[in-house]
Amino acid sequence: MKKISLLGATGSIGTQTLQVIKEHADQFKLVAMSVGHNVELARKIMKQFNPKLVSVQDKAAYESLKLEFPKIKFTYGETGLTEVAVFDEANILVNAVLGSVGLYPTLQAIEAKKTIAIANKETLVTAGHLVMEAAKRNKVALLPVDSEHSAIFQSLQGEKEKNIQRLIITASGGSFRDKEREELKHVTVEEALNHPNWSMGAKITVDSATMMNKGLEVIEAHWLFSLPYEKIDCLMHKESIIHSLVEFHDSSIIAQLGTPDMRVPIQYALSYPDRLPLQSANRLNLAEIGKLHFQQLSFERFRCLQFAYEAGKTGGTMPTVLNAANEVTVAAFLSGKITFLEIETLIEKALMDHTAIENPSLSVIQEVDQETRQFVHSLL
C-alpha cells in the first residue's frame, strides 16, 4: 500500500489525484492533505477519504474544523503545508499546490526521504537547483506529473540520458493561439480561461494563454532531465495528443501519446515503475482523429516563452524573478486589475530590474521572491 500526502487536494490536479486514489483503493491511501480556502470541498474529501492530518490555509477554518472532525488532526498556514509534506506515515508526497509556496514543503519532504510526485512546477522554476541537489543527496525520486514531463520520462524508460539529442515539448497554444498580437489588447479573463483542450486551474490556464506555461515547463525540463536549454525545444501541437517527444542521437524520436487526461500522468507517477489500468480513461483512436498539426512557436508572438528561455539561461535568481512576477501579474489579471498584455510588460520590467545572483541559497531565493512580488505590486 502506498500512503500519500497530497498538497492542494481541492485543486484541479488534487481532485484528479483523489480520483486515481479512489479507483485504486487497494493500492493507494490518502493519509494527509492540504487545502487552501475551499473548506466545503475539504469537508467532502475528509468524509470520503478519512485522512489523518489536514492543513487549511487560515486559522479560522482550522478552529472550526477541529471541533467538527475531532478524530482528524488539523494544522494551518505555511507550517501546515510542511507538516503535511513530511507526515510520518506517508511514503509519497503529491505536490499539487499552486505557486512557489510549495518550495519549502518540497525540500523538507525530500529531507524526510519521501518520494515526490511533482505537479507544482513553480517550485522547480524558482529553485530547481536546490530541489535537484536535495533529491540527489537524499536519493529521493522526483517523478513528474506535468503531462509533458511525464511523456518525456515515459519516453526515456530504458534509455540512456547521454543518448538524448533534444527534448521536444509540445504546446496546445492556449486560449488565444489563433489570435494575432494586435487582437490580444482587449481579451477578457473569461476568454483567457476558455482553454481549447484541458480543464485546469485558473492560473495555469492563463499561463497557457500567455505561453508562460511552456516557458515554465522548459525550465522544469532543464532541471528534471539535466539538459542545457539548447537541447530543449517547443512545438505547437493543437490537438494535445502527443504529450512530448525525445529525439536521440541516431535521429529516432520516441513520444508518448494519449487523449488529454491528467489522471494518466498522475497515476503513472503514483504507480511507477508499474502501470495500472485506468478504466474511465478515454482511449485514443488515431483513425478517428485523422490528422495531427504542428507549428513553430514564435518568440515575437509569445514573448513570455522568450523571457523564460532567457531567464533560464541566465540562471541564478533570474527564474525566481520570472516566476514571482508571473504569479503576481496573473493574479492581478484574474482579479481585473491589469490587461492581458500587461502581464508580459510587467514581467519584463521585473526581469530588467533584477541582477541575477548566482547559485542562490534558500534564504536568497525567498528574499528575491518577496522583493519581486513587492516590486510588481508597486507597479500595479
**Which residues does the annotation place in the binding site for NADPH?**
10-13, 36, 38, 120, 122, 201
Asked if 152 is part of the footprint of ligand NDP (rule: CB under 6 A), the reply reads no
Task: Compute the least distance from the CB of residue 267 to Mg ion, in Å.
Answer: 16
Asked if 126 is part of the footprint of ligand NDP (rule: CB under 6 A), the reply reads no
Stretch that binds ligand NDP, among 23-31, 160-168, 199-207, 308-316 (CB under 6 A): 199-207
Q: Which is nearer to ligand NDP, 206 or 250 (CB)?
A: 206
Asked if 261 is part of the footprint of ligand NDP (rule: CB under 6 A), the reply reads no
State the DSSP code for 38: -
Cell 493500492 found at:
27
Pick from 363, 361, 372: which is nearest to 311 by CA? 372
Query: If contact means CB under 5 to 8 A according to the sort of partner, which of Mg ion, ligand NDP, none does residue 120 touch?
Result: ligand NDP
Asked if 306 is part of the footprint of ligand NDP (rule: CB under 6 A), the reply reads no
Separation between Cα atoms, residue 121 and residue 125, nearest integer Å? 6
Pick from 222, 233, 215, 231: which is nearest to 132 by CA? 222
* Nearest residue to ligand NDP, by Cβ distance, number only: 11
Cβ atoms 55, 35 nearer than 8 A: yes
Separation between Cα atoms, residue 41 and residue 194, nearest integer Å? 23
Those residues with Cβ within 8 angstroms of residue 140's Cβ, 6 or more apart along the chain or in another chain = 110, 113, 114, 115, 116, 134
Asked if 122 is part of the footprint of Mg ion (rule: CB under 5 A), the reply reads no
b/e per residue 148-169 (b: at least 16 CB within 10 A): bbbbbbbbbeeeeeeebebbbb
25 is written with which cell numbers?
A: 483503493
- Binding-site entries for Mn(2+): 146, 148, 217
Separation between Cα atoms, residue 193 and residue 202, nearest integer Å? 6
The count of residues interacting with ligand NDP (CB under 6 A) is 30
Pick from 230, 192, 212: which is nearest to 339 by CA? 192
Contact string 129-148 vs Mg ion (x = CB under 5 A)? -----------------xxx
Residues 54-113 that bind ligand NDP (CB under 6 A): 57, 81, 96-99, 101
Asked if 261 is part of the footprint of Mg ion (rule: CB under 5 A), the reply reads no
Asked if 327 is part of the footprint of ligand NDP (rule: CB under 6 A), the reply reads no
Question: Phi and psi at residue 201, in whole multiples of 5°?
Answer: -60, 160
Q: Is 158 left (phi over 0), alpha (psi -120 to 50) or beta?
A: left
Query: If contact means CB under 5 to 8 A according to the sort of partner, which of ligand NDP, Mg ion, none does residue 8 touch?
Result: ligand NDP
Asked if 116 is part of the footprint of ligand NDP (rule: CB under 6 A), the reply reads no
Q: Which is nearer to ligand NDP, 216 or 368 (CB)?
A: 216
What is the DSSP track for 66-108?
HHH-TTSEEEEHHHHHHHHHT-TT-SEEEE---SGGGHHHHHH
Task: Compute the least distance from the CB of residue 38 to ligand NDP, in Å.
Answer: 3
Separation between Cα atoms, residue 75 and residue 83, nearest integer Å? 8
Sole binder of ligand NDP in the list 4, 5, 6, 8 (CB under 6 A): 8
Task: Compute the least distance from the CB of residue 290 to ligand NDP, in Å.
Answer: 26
Sole binder of ligand NDP in the list 13, 90, 94, 236 (CB under 6 A): 13
Q: Which is nearer to Mg ion, 243 or 354 (CB)?
A: 243
Strand order in the sheet with 242-248: 232-236, 164-171, 242-248, 253-257
Contact string 25-44 vs ligand NDP (x = CB under 6 A)? ---------xxxxx------
Query: If contact means CB under 5 to 8 A according to the sort of partner, which of Mg ion, ligand NDP, none does residue 65 touch?
Result: none
> For binding to ligand NDP (CB under 6 A), which residues are involved?
8-14, 34-38, 57, 81, 96-99, 101, 119-122, 146, 198, 200-201, 203-204, 262
> For binding to Mg ion (CB under 5 A), which residues are involved?
146-148
